[in-house]
Amino acid sequence: MSGFSYLARRLVMAVVVVVAVSILTFLVVRIVPSDPAALFAGPRPTQAQITQARERLGLDQPLPLQYLAFAGRVLHGDFGVSFKTRRPIISDIGTFLPATLELVIASTVLSLLIGVPIGALAGARPGGWIDQASRFVAIAGVSVPTFWLAMILQLFFFRQLGWLPLSGRVAQETTLFNPIASITGLNTLDALMTGNWKGFADAAWHLILPAVTLAAYPIGLTTRMMRAGMIETMQEKHILAARALGHSERFILFRYALKVAFAPNLTVLGLSFAYSLTGAFLVEVIFSWPGLGRYVTDAILNVDFPVIMAVTLVVTVFYVVINLAVDLLHALLDPRIVLQ
């Protein structure tokens, strides 16, 4: 019953957070010194066209009524129409979000595959050469600027070696001769599902550089957290008891210590996933990755208020859902944690 009460409280808190963010975003958008009606009316609009656009958008109503109308549309899955594209925003998000998710998922998997093993081995043998290397990885990962790393990787792997593509999701040749059928919007997954191996190889090749760039910070953070967790776990009583029983260090590491030390990293990985949704914006611009980041960047440059509000809400929902899922998984992995 305590678990159910915990889940109910967290869901209520999630709704409160989303509503608070929507109100704050709505007010900030209205405070910005710009006229949405003039932007919506198009270039060089007349006063009559601006007035007509203001009435159509409901901007002639009091702010509370405007917000209630906006919230009502959102509850029905309607984020409005983009000022720039003139298309429904929900349709645009459905087009651009899968590209961002593919990039973020790839970077999170890299964080898991690289940061966890390095941090675990470093924490199991503190002071060794692996520990020294892990410190360098952690410090470099969290301190190197994303834009600098992106440009260095482009210069080295594209310009100097010619191994990896500079930008985009797939090559022009793949689009023409081996097009990837869109099922989920994730090119690598769609290519696998349809058996398009050439398309998969090309999509994966294009994914490497932006995914590595985006994964740098989470890798450094995960390595550091995993190392600290492993050092602490290896000093606990059940580990000492396992040693006294004569179990090998490898058995103790993988059977007893790893799961306990990994549990706190779920929070790091979960928040890193949510952070990457916003951190991907700069990466997408540098690598010409047609995702949500480039979409909202164009919206900011064009003062496309409905798009900014919609993307903010989508990212907020991701944050809330991922945070809740991480807490539940944390409790599942670590029996010492009680949800109440």
pLDDT in tens, 10-53: 788 888 888 888 888 888 777 776 667 777 776 777 778 778 87
As given in the structure block, the two tokens for residue 49 are 């066209």
Residue that finishes a domain, picked among 75, 106, 137:
75
Q: What is the CA radius of gyration of the chain?
A: 24
> Do 222 and 214 meet the contact criterion of CB atoms below 8 Å apart?
no
Q: How far is CA 119 from CA 223, 242, 248, 332, in A?
A: 4, 22, 20, 22
The answer as to whether 339 is a domain residue is no
pLDDT (0 to 100) of residue 212: 92
C-alpha–C-alpha distance, residues 119 and 134, integer Å: 7
Looking at the structure, do residues 311 and 241 belong to the same domain, yes or no? yes
Q: What is the residue type of 328?
A: L
* Per-residue model confidence (pLDDT) at position 202: 92
Do 258 and 113 have their domain in common? yes
The pLDDT, as a whole number, for residue 197 is: 92
- pLDDT of 1 > 50? The answer is no
Q: How far is CA 196 from the centre of its chain?
A: 27
Please report, as a single letter, which amino acid is at residue 41. A
Indicate the burial class of 106 (C-beta count within 10 angstroms; 0-12, 13-18, 19 or more).
Answer: buried
Residues 149 and 23 in one domain: no
- Domain termination site, one of 14, 42, 75: 75
Mean pLDDT in residue range 142-164: 88
Exposure string over 115-140, b if 16+ CB within 10 A, otherwise e: bbebbbbbbbeeeeebbeebeebbee
* Residue 87 covered by a domain: no
Helix (H, G, I), strand (E, B) or coil at 236: coil
| C-beta of residue 2 within 8 angstroms of C-beta of residue 338 | yes
Domain contains 324: yes
> How many alpha carbons lie under 13 Å from residue 45 in its C-beta half-sphere?
16
In 3D space, the residue among 222, 3, 233 whose CA is nearest the CA of residue 112 turns out to be 222
Q: How confident is the model at residue 334 (pLDDT cuts 50, 70, 90)?
A: low
| Contact criterion met (CB below 8 Å) for 226 and 144 | no
| Domain presence at residue 215 | yes
Q: Where residue 185 falls among pLDDT bands split at 50, 70, 90? A: confident
Q: pLDDT band at residue 66, thresholds of 50, 70 and 90?
A: confident
Q: Does 118 reside within a domain?
A: yes
CATH at 177: 1.10.3720.10
Same domain (yes/no): 327, 205: yes
Q: Which residue reads 């690289």 in tokens?
A: 114
Q: Is the pLDDT of residue 276 over 70?
A: yes
Task: Over range 139-150, report the average pLDDT.
Answer: 86
Cα→Cα distances 259→53, 120, 145, 183, Å: 58, 10, 32, 35
Which residues span the domain enclosing 37? 2-75
CA 212 to chain centre: 14
Looking at the fold, whether 186 and 59 belong to one and the same domain comes out as no
Residue at 81 is within a domain = no
**pLDDT of 324 higher than 90:** no
pLDDT in the model for residue 206:
93
Report, as an integer, the average pLDDT of 284-306: 84
- What gap in Å lies between CA 23 and CA 66, rounded to an integer? 11
Average pLDDT (193-222) is 91
- Same domain for 69 and 213, yes or no, is no
Q: What's the pLDDT at 333?
A: 60
Beta bridge partners of 81: 88
Who has greater pLDDT, 154 or 43? 154
Question: How many domains does one find in the chain?
Answer: 2
Q: What is the mean pLDDT of residues 63-89?
A: 83
Question: Same structural domain for residues 71 and 127?
Answer: no
- 170 and 310 within one domain: yes
User: Are residues 164 and 239 part of one domain?
Assistant: yes
Same domain, 129 and 239: yes
pLDDT over threshold 60, residue 170: yes
CA distance 239 to 210: 40
90 lies in a domain? no
* Mean residue pLDDT across the chain: 81
Q: Tell me, what's the pLDDT at 52?
A: 80
Is 179 within a domain? yes
Last residue of a domain, one of 75, 105, 126: 75
Task: Say yes or no to pLDDT of 71 above 70.
Answer: yes
Q: Among the listed ranges 115-124, 214-223, 241-250, 300-309, which one has the minimum average pLDDT value?
A: 241-250
Q: Is the pLDDT of residue 188 over 80?
A: yes
Of 77 and 266, more confident? 77
- Contact between 270 and 326 under an 8 Å Cβ cutoff? The reply is yes
